[in-house]
Amino acid sequence: MGKTITEKILATHLERDVSSGELIEVKVDVALGNDITAPLAIVEFEKLGVKSLFNPDRVVLVLDHFAPNKDIRSAEQCKFVRAFAKKYGVKNFFDVGQMGIEHALLPEQGLVLPGDIIIGADSHTCTYGALGAFSTGVGSTDLAAVWATGEIWLKVPQTIKFVYYGKLNPWVGGKDLILHTIGDIGVDGANYMAMEFTGEVIPKLTMADRLTMSNMAIEAGGKAGIIAPDEITLEYIKPRAKREWKVYASDSDAEYVEVREYDCSQIEPQVAFPHLPSNVKPISKVGQVEIDQAVIGSCTNGRIEDLRLAARVLKGKKVHKDIRLIIIPGTQQIYLQAVKEGLVEIFIEAGGAVSTPTCGPCLGGYMGILAQGERCIATTNRNFVGRMGHKESKVYLANPAITAASAIAGRIVPVEDIL
Amino acid sequence: MKIAGQVFEKFRADINTDEIIPAVYLDTTSYEELAKHAMEGIDREFANSVSQGDIIVADKNFGCGSSREHAPIAIKACGVSCIIAKSFARIFYRNCLNIGLPIFECGEVDKIKKGDVLEIDFQTGLIKNLSTNETYSTTPFPEFMQKLIEVGGLMEYVRQKNRL
């Protein structure tokens, strides 16, 4: 019996064969923490009394969730992480001015590569699966243990294979494919399992679209959301990588717990209604949903390709007078690129507010919190009760083009409605 | 080891970590403070009214969403002795084992009611409902996870394994 890409990556790191279901302790290539998960890890790590990190060059710390500091308490947490990075010689420490939203930043900086095992104390660490890496989110204690030992305990996951075929409809991208998939299998449809995205549509997707798909694997409970590298992956990796990488692919006779196929010609742009990412409707069935705010950004859709899409829709138009449009480029590089390409000008002329990179509103931190009863359409990843503010506010998840179009219309609409 | 306690609350399916501890409280590492806000996203009174040793029960996929360890910490620090659910979301599940908060996967949670008194045997994994005299089985932990539970969490495991 052949092996999946996930089993192969884990087996190489363990230097022996593995099968799904096995519990292993395996070497980690990159360990990531941020300003809200690292402080708990630092407390645990320092209690251990270990003198050094397993490999300071493979530890990445990003201040992105409540940074630039949203208040005094966030400032204290950032200060705590900053001091830790200095004390233990963490070079890959990203502070305001260099930082971006971690899952947009790490691939851009070439810090995560095909074939890697990446552990991050952030649930959206599954994003890097799009590069052909095994990458998964854990808690702070796990991160502290990796800092000390360089190893993580894992159950080798079973894999569900998703096959996407057919022609993509206009304004349909990675966000719509993954929302449709989560709608199909539910928020725990892939719990404990790896999701592997395959089929003729995947090689036609940009890296940005693929990163969006892998990013939301966790919203179906997935441990990983993996895509075998191809030419597009390597084109992305080559100019960025500063170390060796290895490309893996699943064997044709690999064992899957399930195979699900989707005819993409039947998939419209998707909108996830409150209060679960699985509560999706095609745009044609949305009905009349008026909104107060629109957010374009986050680790899910804050890349340059996402901003270009939004700009295509917003160019020469005005945001509805009753709507606040907030646009958050994922990293400094993306922000600069957006300035150079004239995208920021389009956004500002349309009446949008453009922010420095931050996770901010996505998790209800700051930079666009919702009041009681308010509704927001967002390119983010979660629409749980109270996720972006008041318990009685509502978040609708969609792709950047639908979000931009809705900001113009003042209600959730297909892009064609405003063109 | 056995523990006994009363079912303080029975939660629906897909309780997420934003409901367990809203993101505004992720600016602290203080257990006492997190305890004050446990389950606040779904029940503002929870932390004030739960008693030491109480048990919480839930339907499937408890703890879905973010990786914030603040969630199991808040539950543990406010006095909850154990969580029984049809299933747990993966990251929450490992966070509980790592910090030494006992959890049990049980297919028969539909039979458990709020207020029932339960006795849980950690060795056999059997839950005895002292209010109804029923007994429920739970999913046994693999050997490695048993070890984590026995030593009281991941950091102690790392300490022992690496002789720190």
Query: How far is the C-alpha of A384 from the C-alpha of A195, rounded, in Å?
Result: 22
Q: What was the ipTM of the complex prediction?
A: 0.97
Span A394-413, mean pLDDT? 98
**Of A260, A152, A259, A192, whose CA–CA distance to A21 is shortest?**
A192
Q: Which residue of A has its CA nearest to B163?
A: A48
For residues A336 and B133, give the distance between their C-alpha atoms in angstroms, rounded to a whole number.
67
Closest C-alpha to A119, from A148, A95, A94 = A148
Q: How many distinct helices (H) and strands (E) make up chain B?
A: 7, 7
Nearest to B98 among A47, A65, A142 (CB): A142
A210-225 pLDDT, tens digit each: 999 999 999 999 999 9
Look at residue A300 and tell me whether its pLDDT is greater than 90.
yes
Rounded Cα distance, A149 and A130, in Å: 27
Read off the amino acid at residue A67. Answer: A
| Side chain identity, residue A314 | L
Chain position carrying tokens 């390409």: A341
Residue A19 three-state SS: coil
C-alpha distances in Å from residue A273, one per residue of A280, A369, A382, B42: 6, 18, 10, 19
Contact call for residues A249 and A114 (beta carbons, < 8 A): no
B18 touches chain A (CB under 8 A): yes
pLDDT digits (tens, 9 = 90+) for B79-89: 999 999 999 99
Enumerate residues 6+ apart whose C-beta is below 8 A from A79. Answer: none
Chain A residues close to B155, C-beta within 8 Å: 44, 47-48, 141, 144-145
* CA proximity to A60, closest of A26, A11, A98, A14: A98
**Are the Cβ atoms of A36 and B68 closer than 8 angstroms?**
yes
pLDDT tens-digit map of A330-376: 999 999 999 999 999 999 999 999 999 999 999 999 999 999 999 99
Could you give the CA distance from residue A80 to residue A150 in angstroms, rounded to a whole number?
A: 22
One-letter amino acid for residue A362 of the chain: C
Using CB atoms within 10 Å of the CB of residue A98, give its burial: 0 to 12 exposed, 13 to 18 middle, 19+ buried.
middle
Please give, rounded to a whole number of angstroms, the shortest distance from the CA of A115 to a CA of chain B: 22
Tell if the CB–CB gap between A221 and B90 is shorter than 8 Å.
Answer: yes
- Chain B residues lying within 8 Å of A125, measured CB to CB: 67
Helices A332-340, A343-350: inter-axial angle, 10-degree rounding? 80
SS3 A278: coil
Question: Which pLDDT band holds residue B1 (cuts at 50, 70, 90)?
Answer: confident
The pLDDT of A46-55, averaged and rounded, is 96
CA distances from A36 to A77, A90, B73 (A): 7, 17, 14
| Å between B57 CA and nearest CA of chain A | 18
- Cβ burial of A371 (10 Å; 0-12, 13-18, 19+) is exposed
**Interface touch B42/A71, C-beta < 8 Å:** no
| CB A103, CB A133: distance < 8 Å | no
pLDDT tens digits, one per residue of A322-337: 999 999 999 999 999 9
A122–chain B nearest CA distance, Å = 5
Q: How many CB pairs under 8 A join A and B?
A: 134
Structure confidence by residue, pLDDT tens digits, B56-112: 999 999 999 999 999 999 999 999 999 999 999 999 999 999 999 999 999 999 999
C-alpha B38/C-alpha B133 separation (Å) is 31
B151 touches A: beta carbon within 8 Å: no
**Best to test chain B binding among A66, A119, A136, A387 (most B CBs inside 10 Å):** A387
Q: Which two tokens stand for residue A219?
A: 């919203």
CA distances, A133 to each of A113, A248, A335, A392, B96 (Å) = 6, 9, 26, 39, 26
The answer to whether B137 touches B11, Cβ cutoff 8 Å, is no
What pLDDT does A309 receive? Answer: 98
Give the confidence band of A15 by pLDDT, cuts at 50, 70, 90. very high
pLDDT of residue A322: 98
Residue with tokens 């104390």: A121
Residue B10 has pLDDT above 90, yes or no: yes
According to the model, what pLDDT value does residue B50 have?
98
- Give the DSSP per-residue string, A51-96: SS-S-GGGEEEE--SSTTT-SHHHHHHHHHHHHHHHHTT-SEEE-T
Under 8 Å between Cβ of A293 and A323: yes
- Which residue type occupies A392? E
Q: Which long-range contacts (CB under 8 A, 24 or more apart) does A387-391 make?
A: A387/A275, A387/A362, A387/A363, A387/B18, A387/B23, A388/A295, A388/A361, A388/A362, A388/A363, A388/A364, A389/A364, A391/B41
Q: Which of A48, A65, A192 sits opposite B155 (nearest CB)?
A: A48
A137 phi, psi to nearest 5 deg: -90, 145
Q: Which of A363, A366, A390, A393 to mutate to test the interface with B (most CBs of B within 10 A)?
A: A363
Chain B residues in contact with A279 by the CB 8 A cut-off are none
Q: Are B50 and B80 in contact (CB under 8 A)?
A: yes
Q: How confident is the model at residue A1 (pLDDT cuts 50, 70, 90)?
A: confident
As a whole number of angstroms, the distance between CA A203 and CA A15 comes to 30
pLDDT at B164 over 90: no
Average pLDDT over residues B149-156: 94
pLDDT (tens digit per residue) in A227-263: 999 999 999 999 999 999 999 999 999 999 999 999 9
pLDDT at B123: 87
Question: Taking the C-alpha atoms of A220, A222, A224 and A226 in order, what is their torsion angle to the nearest 10 degrees?
Answer: -50
Q: Rounded to whole angstroms, how far apart are CA atoms A225 and A213?
A: 7
Residue A202 distance to chain B (closest CA, Å): 26
Q: Are A215 and A137 in contact, with CB atoms under 8 Å apart?
A: no
Amino acid, res. B10 = K
